[in-house]
Structure 1
Amino acid sequence: MASSRDRQRKLARAKLDRQMARRAAATKRRRQIRAGVGTTLVLLLVVAGSAWALGAFDSEPTDTSAADETCLWTPQNTQGNSNLKDVGEPATTGLPVTGIRTMTVVTNQGSPITVELDLAGAPCAAASITHLASQSFYDNTKCHEIRPEGAVRCGDPSGTGLGGPTYTFYSENVPTAPEASPEASPAPDAAPTYPKGTVAMISNPPGANGSQFLIFFKDHTPTEDPQYPIIGRVTEGLDVVEKIGALPTVDNGAGEKVKPEKDDVVIQSLTVGEPVLDPASPADPAPTGTPSPEASGAPEASASAG
């Protein structure tokens, strides 16, 4: 007889398959619509081009949100998992898809940890975390694991690894596995798949994301295909993440030595700021472990739901 966890995995996989089928159907409908109005669009482009040449259009601010349906949220069956917490669902349209949101994580381990959420690469993850933060979902919850791959696992109010909201969403921005070299070994200077400071979602099964995330305190390149979708990076407070990563661990009761032994790692508050365009700064600066004066003050106000 299948275990409860096996049944949960099968249910989650079935829901994920339905979600992908709906996405495929929506894509097919969009293609059919585009094909049917192709001739009209050509005519409209000719007219619009003439109007533009005559100066009929004034410049307007760039819209950084998507009017079309950007994300799909798959409901979870709460009857089989009492660890889920119902706080509603984020919006599916009008979500920002350009720039960043600043996530501020205040723990009991030191200065705040500041993260830039990537709205272009992971708009649904950013929308979900923003919604959950607006509902105080993460406040006073534990980072219940220090993973052997070099990451702190947070975002499960139940502390069991099975908790989360009553919806899931599909993975975005999953890195590709590095190509094998002719010598069947990675180049010594190859960049890690998950550099130190990377923030990524984690779910069981992979692809059925909810609220749980990883913050890497050291570089990590998996030996198999990557499964964690990257959603952002630490910009301030990496030294705090490294301090948490150095805490001694004990068996969590499931055969993994990942539970903090003595000191609970508690998220006292998690807030998300408003979306902003990427700041004018050097491309991909290395995360820093020294908090800024702003990071040591009051955290940003939480964004509104959806």
Structure 2
Amino acid sequence: MASSRDRQRKLARAKLDRQLARRAARAKRRRQIQAGIGAAVVLALIVLGSAWALGAFDSKPEPKAAEDVCLWTPQDAGANTNLKDVGTPPTTGLPTSGTRTMTLTTNQGAPITAELDLTSAPCAGASISHLAGKSFYDNTKCHEITAEGALRCGDPSGTGFGGPAYTFSNEDVPDAPEASPSASPAPEQPPAYPKGTVAMIGSPPGANGSQFLIFLKDFNPETPAYSIVGKVTGGLDVVEKIGALETVDNGNGAKVKPKTDVVIQSLTVGEPNAAPAASPSAG
């Protein structure tokens, strides 16, 4: 029969084994937890590294400013009393394709309509539209029938030196025609300014404002200088009627002023029209 001391030793041994087993289990759990935390940290570092490489932590770029379409050069309306300050058109967000319809109502008959080309002359189109919105042209006179065969309008002062308090540069000036052996444009070439062309005229040349020409006949100069903005689409017979008016001295020795006043009662410009889609090629 086992002694009391042997039983005590066995109980103590069993107790120690149980303690060691519990310690081992706790240690195993700690290792599992640490391994899980380590894996999570590694995964987080991989994700953060990938995001950094892709620029997720880069500072967001500032929104790009809209680029200027047109530049309006201020003019001193105080120094030139022929100028009329009605502000300037915007420089950005302007349509650069399609057309706008300009309607010119005069005291000479039915309205004259023209198609303003926003693709080739967006700034001229924007300027005329802005000025029309300010009633700039209303109740002004077309003060000249030029020696080149064009009706000159758009100067409220009627002097040829008037306009808004800004200017802008040429956009669509035709190329000079090829010369024939006689040093004149070859007769088979189309005119630089066909009858019905609407073009800007600046004072000085190239410094456009509000003044424009409507050509009463084909014009083919050796050196084109006027920026084309559009063409007449209706009322060309009214333009021809005006072109046939008698002219008198304009006060500067040039017999170019219509003897009968040609008054623009109103000039309006419609909303932009989308450019027509290109037709499919024949095949």
How is 1:27-176 mapped onto 2 (pairs within 5 angstroms)?
Answer: 67-176=66-175
Instruction: Give the root-mean-square deviation of aligned CA atoms.
Output: 1.8
Is 1:228 aligned to residue 232 of structure 2?
no
Q: Return the alpha-carbon distance in structure 1 between the equivalents of residues 192 and 97 of structure 2.
A: 23
Residue 22 of structure 1 aligns with which residue? none
Give the aligned residue type for 1:269: S
Question: In structure 2, how many angstroms separate the alpha carbons of the residues matched to 1:147 and 1:136?
Answer: 25
Over the matched positions of the two proteins, sequence identity in percent amounts to 72
How has the CA–CA distance of structure 1 residues 281 and 259 changed in structure 2, closer, same or farther, with 3 Å as cutoff? farther
What secondary structure sits across from 2:241 in the alignment? helix
CA displacement at 1:67 relative to structure 2: 4.3
* Equivalenced residues, count: 216
Alignment of 1:278-289 (within 5 A): 278-279=275-276
Are 2:281 and 1:266 aligned? no
* Conserved? CA contact 2:146–2:256, under 8 Å: yes
Q: 1:211 maps to what in 2?
A: 210
Distance (Å, rounded) in 2 between the aligned partners of 1:165 and 1:189: 39
Shift of 1:96: 0.1
Quote the Cα distance in structure 2 between the aligned partners of 1:143 and 1:186. 30
Q: How far off is 1:281 after superposition?
A: 10
In the superposition, the TM-score normalised over structure 2's length comes to 0.73
Determine the C-alpha separation between the residues in 2 that align with 1:197 and 1:144.
Answer: 18
Query: Quick one: structure 1 residues 212 and 188, their matched pair in 2 at CA, closer, same or farther if it must change by over 3 Å?
Result: same
Aligned twin of 1:21: none
SS in 1 for 2:114: strand
Unpaired runs of 5+ residues, structure 1, are 1-46, 48-65, 283-306
**Counterparts of 1:240 and 1:67, CA distance in 2:** 42
CA contact (8 A) 1:67 1:95 kept: no
Are 2:178 and 2:186, in contact at CA under 8 Å, matched by a contact in 1? no
1:181 Cα deviation after fit:
2.7
Q: How does 1:183-198 map to 2 (within 5 A)?
A: 183-198=182-197
For residue 241 of structure 2, what is the aligned residue in structure 1? 243
Is the alpha carbon distance of 1:237 and 1:265 closer, same or farther for their aligned partners in structure 2, counting shifts above 3 Å? same
CA distance in 1, matches of 2:187, 2:197: 20
Match of 2:255 among 251, 254, 257: 257
Distance 1:91 1:270 in 2: 20
Deviations 1:106-140 (A, max 9, x none): 00001110000000100000000000000000000
Measure, in 2, the Cα distance between the counterparts of 1:106 and 1:143. 12
In structure 2, do the counterparts of structure 1 residues 250 and 218 end up closer, same or farther at CA, with 3 Å as the change threshold?
same
User: Are the aligned partners of 1:197 and 1:218 in contact in 2 as well (CA < 8 Å)?
Assistant: yes
Greater gyration radius: 2
Q: How far apart are the structure 1 equivalents of 2:102 and 2:197?
A: 13
What TM-score does the superposition give when structure 1 sets the normalisation length?
A: 0.68
Amino acid of the structure 2 residue aligned with 1:68: E
State the distance in 1 between where 2:201 and 2:235 align: 21
Provide, for residues 73-100 of structure 1, a one-character-per-residue CA deviation record: whole Å limited to 9, x for no partner.
0110123210111100000000000110
Partners of 1:129 and 1:176 in 2: how far apart? 24
The residue matched to 2:203 in structure 1 has which SS? coil
Per-residue displacement from partner, 1:273-306 (whole Å, max 9, x unpaired)?
A: 0001235799xxxxxxxxxxxxxxxxxxxxxxxx
